[in-house]
């Protein structure tokens, strides 16, 4: 069994120099105790985790662990998708959306142990304009906030910082007019955001699509119409109790393919990582069962 561990040394700890050494030593210790001699790799720049994972898949790795946040999971997952290699998650990010949805333990030792004794399962993979995602993608306000959150030169990570930025920007953001085409039906909306969810949550328990399932062969599209900032803030509490569908101006629809258009370039994110494109049209689709996962709870 060839096992590779790819570590993002800056996720979750503000890039302390000792983080990479500590995580590498822990991975060696835990896996060696399970009679596995792992290959431990440290990512050095954006996109490097994808390159390392792609090389490991080409060498027929059985299992690749992604140790980091949602961005690291996305990079490694993109390399692993559509292959016979399985993905293991060691969560260490701000939101850990996919890991939380799969009920992966937050403690690294427990996450490793759970993955090693688990059988493989497959989950669906979403695609937006050629960019794969596994947890959720978004267009509009959440993509705008994700861009600001991820491109700050300095500053704290975590849910508090994200919410602080969102609350500030909500009072100045102007929503564009979108045209969404799904199954021959066209919906026009001045939407605050359009989320496309493979799982229920963004991360930290924020349930953007409470009925979504990772392996149902569908994406859950959530259109949130523009309302006053105060009304939006009041409705946001529903993200944490699973009642978002009951708020005014919310449309939820299950899709396998869809198109989103606007009269201006569309900024979007995949698994919390911002993507800047000049296109005014975004195409969405689902790839059922395209990613093998090891670890977590099979009941979700």
**What's the structural domain count of the chain?**
2
Residues 258 and 142 occupy one common structural domain: yes
Residues 138 and 95 occupy one common structural domain: no
Domain termination site, one of 95, 123, 151 = 123
CATH number at residue 45: 3.40.50.10330
238-279 pLDDT, tens digit each: 999 999 999 999 999 999 999 999 999 998 999 989 997 778
Residues 77 and 211 occupy one common structural domain: no
Residue 52 belongs to a domain: yes
Please state, rounded to an integer, the average pLDDT across all residues of the chain. 91
Residue 214 belongs to a domain: yes
Residues 30 and 105 occupy one common structural domain: yes
Model confidence, pTM: 0.91
Residue 298 belongs to a domain: no
174-201 pLDDT, tens digit each: 999 999 999 888 989 999 999 999 999 9
Residues 17 and 81 occupy one common structural domain: yes
Residue 227 belongs to what domain range? 131-289
Residues 97 and 244 occupy one common structural domain: no
Residue 294 belongs to a domain: no
Residues 190 and 136 occupy one common structural domain: yes
Residue 300 belongs to a domain: no
Residues 180 and 72 occupy one common structural domain: no
Residue 109 belongs to a domain: yes
Residues 103 and 15 occupy one common structural domain: yes
Residues 170 and 212 occupy one common structural domain: yes
| HEC-encoded secondary structure of the chain | CCEEEEECCCCCCCCCCHHHHHHHHHHHHHHHHCCCCCEEEECCCCCHHHHHHHHHHHCCCCEEEEEECHHHHHHHHHHHCCCCCEEEEEECCCCCHHHHHCCCCCCHHHHHHHHHHCCCEEEEEEEECCEEECCEEEEEHHHHHHHHHHHCCCCCCCHHHHHHHHHHHCCCCCCCEEEEEECCEEEEEEEEEEEEECCCECCCCCECCCCCCCCCCCEEEEEEECCCHHHHHHHHHHHHCCCHHHCCCEEEEEECEEEEECCCCCCEEECCEEECCCCCEEEEEEEEEEEEEECCCCCC
Residue 164 belongs to a domain: yes
Domain termination site, one of 70, 102, 123 = 123
299 pLDDT more than 60: no
Residues 34 and 161 occupy one common structural domain: no
Residue 226 belongs to a domain: yes
Residues 8 and 87 occupy one common structural domain: yes
CATH number at residue 272: 2.60.200.40
4-50 pLDDT, tens digit each: 999 998 875 555 668 889 999 999 999 999 999 999 999 999 999 99
158 pLDDT more than 70: no
């Amino acid at each position: 069994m060839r096992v590779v561990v790819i570590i993002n040394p800056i996720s979750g700890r503000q890039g302390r120099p000792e983080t990479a050494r500590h995580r590498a030593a822990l991975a060696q210790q835990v896996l060696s105790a399970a009679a596995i001699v792992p290959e431990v790799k440290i990512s050095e720049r954006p996109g490097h985790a994808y390159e390392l994972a792609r090389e490991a898949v080409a060498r027929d790795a059985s299992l690749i662990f992604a140790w980091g946040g949602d961005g690291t999971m996305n990079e490694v997952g993109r390399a692993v998708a559509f292959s016979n290699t399985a993905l293991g998650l060691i969560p260490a990010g701000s939101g850990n959306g996919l890991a939380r949805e799969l009920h992966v333990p937050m403690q690294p030792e427990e996450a490793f142990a759970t993955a090693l004794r688990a059988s493989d399962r497959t989950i669906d993979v979403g695609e937006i304009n050629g960019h794969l995602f596994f947890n959720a993608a978004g267009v509009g306000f959440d993509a705008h906030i994700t861009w600001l959150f991820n491109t700050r030169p300095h500053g704290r990570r975590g849910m508090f910082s994200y919410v602080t930025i969102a609350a500030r920007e909500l009072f100045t953001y102007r929503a564009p007019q979108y045209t969404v085409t799904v199954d021959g039906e066209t919906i026009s909306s001045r939407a605050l955001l359009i989320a496309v969810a493979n799982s229920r949550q963004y991360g930290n328990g924020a349930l953007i699509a409470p009925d979504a399932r990772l392996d149902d062969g569908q994406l859950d599209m959530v259109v949130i119409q523009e309302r006053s900032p105060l009304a939006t803030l009041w409705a946001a509490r529903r993200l944490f109790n699973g009642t978002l569908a009951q708020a005014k101006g919310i449309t939820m629809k299950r899709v396998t393919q869809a198109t989103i258009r606007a009269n201006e370039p569309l900024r979007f994110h995949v698994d919390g990582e911002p993507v800047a494109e000049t296109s005014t049209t975004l195409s969405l689709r689902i790839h059922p069962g395209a990613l093998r996962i090891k670890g977590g709870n099979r009941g979700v």
